[in-house]
Structure 1
Amino acid sequence: MSHWTDWKGPEPSLGLVVLLPGRGYTCSMPLLNFAGQVAIHHGWDVRAVSWEASESWGPERVGHELAAAIGEHPGPVRVIGKSLGTMAAPYAAQQRIDAVWLTPLLTLPAVTRGIQEHPGRQLLVGGTGDTMTWDGRIAAALAADALDADVLEIPEADHGMQVPDPVRTAEIHVEVVRAIDGWFTAGDAARWDDVPARGAGVGSGSLDARGGQ
Structure 2
Amino acid sequence: MSSHRLVEDDGDPGLVLRVLPGVGYTAEGPVLARPAEALRAVGWTVRTVVWDGRPDFDVARRVYADVLRDGVAAAPDATHLVLAKSLGTLALPVAVELGLAGAWLTPLLTTDRAPEVRDAAAGLGTSGVPALLVGGTADGLWDGALAAASGARVLEVDGGDHSLEVDGDPERAARALDDVTAAVVDLARIARSL
TM range (shorter): 0.7 to 0.9
Note the C-alpha offset of 1:71.
5.7
Which residue pairs with 2:120 in the alignment?
114
In structure 2, runs of 5+ residues without a counterpart are none
Q: Which has the higher strand share?
A: 2
Percent sequence identity over aligned pairs: 34
1:96-118 Cα shifts (integer Å, max 9, x gaps) = 11111011111232002223153
Contact 1:59 1:90 in 2 (8 A): no
Whether the 8 Å contact between 2:18 and 2:81 is mirrored in structure 1 is yes
Contact 1:13 1:43 in 2 (8 A): no
Structure 1: unaligned runs, 5 residues or longer = 144-148, 192-212
- 1:66 CA displacement: 3.4
Deviations along 1:66-112, whole A, 9 cap, x unmatched? 33455623422111100000010111011111111011111232002
Q: Out of 119, 138, 141, which is 2:149 matched to?
A: 141
| TM-score normalised by the chain length of structure 1 | 0.77
For 2:101, the equivalent position in structure 1 comes to 98
**Cα 1:181–1:54 shift into 2, 3 Å:** closer
Please say if 1:6 is aligned against 2:8: yes
Matches within 5 A, 1:141-160: 141-143=149-151, 149-160=152-163
Distance verdict in 2 for CA 1:31–1:56, change over 3 Å? closer
SS in 1 for 2:107: coil
Alignment of 1:4-153 (within 5 A): 4-9=6-11, 12-51=12-51, 52-57=53-58, 60-61=61-62, 62-68=64-70, 72-74=74-76, 75-107=78-110, 108-115=114-121, 116=123, 118-130=127-139, 132-143=140-151, 149-153=152-156
Q: Deviations over 1:126-181 (max 9, x none)?
A: 11011x210110101112xxxxx200011000000001222222121111111112
CA distance in 2 between counterparts of 1:136 and 1:91 reads: 22
The amino acid of 2:130's aligned partner reads R
Question: So what's the TM-score if we normalise by structure 2?
Answer: 0.84
1:169 maps to 173
Change (3 A) 1:80 1:142: same
Contact 1:58 1:87 in 2 (8 A): no
- Which piece of structure 1 moves more, 170-179 or 87-96? 170-179
Shift of the alpha carbon at 1:53?
Answer: 4.1
Give 1:187 deviation, angstroms.
3.2
Name the count of aligned residue pairs: 182
